[in-house]
Amino acid sequence: MSQTIGHFINGKTVPGQSGRTAKIHNPALGQATGKVALASADEMRAAITNAEAALPSWAATPPLRRARVMFKFKELIEKNMDELAAMVSAEHGKVISDAKGSITRGLEVVEFACGIPHLLKGEHSENVGTGVDSHSARQPVGVCAGITPFNFPAMVPMWMFPIAIQTV
């Protein structure tokens, strides 16, 4: 049980500072295979602060360039499908075919998010009320977080974050 997984903050892998960890279990083998660092409140604040600092430049990035980032993400998922499925299997006990299926279902949302330039178009409706027109435009809101179930470690985050990241 030598591996300890830390955190990813500000584009870097960093070890946990809280001193607290949780075991990573391989349910198929019934044994611990590593540890994951549990974040302290200060580590969470640092992650949020870094995400908030990144928001203005990401929000100013044209949607077409953001879509290119998502296309690269899609490419990396497809290229590393076997490795990702093996990790899901080792940490959650899914058979490889089920793990690949859940990653594929998440990948469908990544593909959808690649179309973000079209999805971010605003709307205009004339005369929705007497002398009233309605206009809508998508504007960046801020940092998001998600709480996902342990048994779908790839699929559910891919249902949430690609759209959130693209629409800031």
DSSP code, position 5: E
CA angle 150/109/118 to nearest 5° reads 150
The CA distance from 119 to 54, in Å, is: 22
Single residue among 29, 60, 91 that ends a domain in this structure:
60
The CA distance from 103 to 73, in Å, is: 13
Please tell me whether residues 48 and 92 are part of one structural domain: no
Single residue among 60, 77, 101 that ends a domain in this structure:
60
Please tell me whether residues 101 and 28 are part of one structural domain: no
CATH number at residue 71: 3.40.605.10
Tell me how many domains the chain contains: 2
- CB 98 within 8 Å of CB 86: no
Single residue among 60, 83, 104 that ends a domain in this structure:
60
Edge-to-edge strand list for the sheet holding 4-5: 4-5, 31-37, 21-26
Identify the bridge partners of residue 26 per DSSP, sorted by sequence position.
31
β-strands 4-5, 31-37 pairing: parallel
The CA distance from 85 to 93, in Å, is: 11
DSSP sequence for 108-166 = HHHHHHTTHHHHT--EEEEEEETTEEEEE-------------TT-TTHHHHHHHHHHHH
Please tell me whether residues 70 and 42 are part of one structural domain: no
pLDDT (tens place) for every residue of the chain, 168 residues total:
568 899 988 889 999 999 999 998 888 888 898 999 999 999 999 999 999 999 899 888 998 999 999 999 999 999 999 999 999 998 888 899 999 999 999 999 999 999 988 878 888 999 999 999 999 887 767 778 888 888 899 999 999 998 888 876
Q: What would the two tokens of residue 94 be? A: 């899914």
Per the structure, the complete domain to which residue 158 belongs is given by 62-168
Please tell me whether residues 21 and 99 are part of one structural domain: no
Strand, coil or helix: 104 = helix
